[in-house]
Amino acid sequence: MDTAHPASRRAWAAAGLVATLAGLAVGHLAAALTAPRAAPLSALADTVIAVVPLEVSHWFIELVGTLDKPLLIIGIGLGVAAAGAAIGALWRTRPWAARAALAVFAAVGAAAAVALPGLGASAAVPSILAAAVAFAGLQWWDHRYRTEAAGRRRFLAVAGGVGAAALAGSWWASRVGPAAIEADRDQLVLPEPDAPAVEPGPRADLDAEGLSSYLTPNGDFYRIDTAITVPRIEVDTWRLRVHGMVDRELEFTMDDLLGRELIERDITLCCVSNQVGGDLVGNARWLGVSLPALLAEAGVDPEADQLVSRSSDGWTAGSPTDLVFDGRDALIAVGMNGQPLPVDHGWPARLVIPGLYGYVSATKWLTELELTTFDAYDAYWITRGWSTPRPIKTQSRIDTPRRKAKSGTVAVAGVAWAQHRGISAVELRVDDGDWQPCELSDVSTTETWRQWLLEWDASPGDHTLTVRATDGDGVVQTSEVQGVIPDGATGLHSITVTVD
């Protein structure tokens, strides 16, 4: 073979890019068939989340909101692709340096995967396999096809075919795995609750188009968590362990939980990252077992002031133990709105503690409950600059109208919440006018949000609508503006409406 005219640097970079993409596809296929969380891009994303400085993390979340994880994955993917192209170009003149760079990438990906909670040494395989495929592709290019045009075309065809086949296989496996979990979920028959939820009354849902419903459908319920890849948990092998500062360690299966007294409660959950007027809040009818009753069986040490809950992927939340036992209906939930928990919302079991933000209470894919102290352990978000547990702040939101309305009578409506205190009043102000009392929906508990409604006689022009709520203790929602960090946003929700 003629070697007088080696392939250009651009051709080598293209070869490195194609080989790297093929390797990533194979690595993700291997992970999809074994441990999805060990996929190279997923494992690297988890590592970036763990090591990035708090200021950068906070800035990025405030900038893009719930798009943070998809954009992180895309960014890492582009970075790995660019690195693959650079390694290909380096191989042209310094092949041993390029080989070393591939080995480093394999080691970084493997270490990131192995470090993930719940995964063992086998989690390194997808990243090692990805690097091996990239290495094999570049080795092939180097030894046989760097000058022969037909050989280059064959390389691109074979490498592209390997990548496409692996991507197709990865897509198939990503459907088969969750489908198997969904099949398990579909087969689970939830018993009727021993203590059903109290119905809120005939006017739990006020008549206003665009108003959030009293119960949020499962498919519309907000999802906030750190899981790059949603855990797949087989219910037959799932266990819930109770340990730490207790008289006796306990372990429960799903059958154990379903055999206990089942409690059904309407509870609103809210994310601490919810901006004023935001939608990271929802109300659902949860079915589960009493958390305080279960912990009491373990015998809680009076000195244990923190309950640490752990997810199957290692995420932790720290809840004040005294709030678990203060009479609120803290649950280990197994059902949501009459169905087994959706996979995205914590299948097979999650924690629901009314009145606390999710980052310190609402652990999904629950596997452990550890009794400890706040001095002894800082949970996931506490180590990242968020505050220790605080009560959910009183908030209200305008759902309708949006931006425009017709003159005449206009229904202005929304929801307000102050879990564990309840909502006693909601008022609306138009422009700089007086605060006007709003009609409130029926509720049966202080743990849910409450709809509100005002019939507004709208005149043509631009108008500013502002809402505020009063909680069950008589405390009016503050107008002081604060961002979500470190313990939740404050301020009043306002919108501008153009009336024709």
Mean pLDDT of 154-180: 63
Residue 344 to residue 347: CA distance in whole angstroms: 7
Residue 38 to residue 19: CA distance in whole angstroms: 20
Return the pLDDT at 418: 97
- The Cβ of residue 482 has, within 10 Å, a number of other Cβ atoms equal to 14
Q: What is the pLDDT of residues 271-301, one digit of tens each?
A: 998 999 999 999 999 999 999 999 999 999 9
Among the listed residues 278, 236, 309, the one whose alpha carbon sits nearest the alpha carbon of residue 65: 278
Counting residues of the chain whose pLDDT is more than 90, the rounded percentage is 66
Residue 126 to residue 44: CA distance in whole angstroms: 12
Q: What is the pLDDT of residues 445-480, one digit of tens each?
A: 999 999 999 999 999 999 999 999 999 999 999 999
**The whole model's pTM is what?**
0.85
Q: Is the pLDDT of residue 170 over 60?
A: no
Return the pLDDT at 337: 98
The residues, any chain, with a CB within 8 Å of residue 103's CB and separated by 6 or more, are: 131
Q: What is the pLDDT of residues 420-439, one digit of tens each?
A: 999 999 999 999 999 999 99
> How high does pLDDT run on average in the chain?
90
Q: Examine residue 401 and say whether the peptide bond preceding it is cis (omega within 30 degrees of 0).
A: yes
Q: Is the pLDDT of residue 166 over 60?
A: no
Q: Is the pLDDT of residue 91 over 80?
A: yes
State whether residue 242 is helix, strand or coil.
Answer: strand
Amino acid occupying residue 373 = T
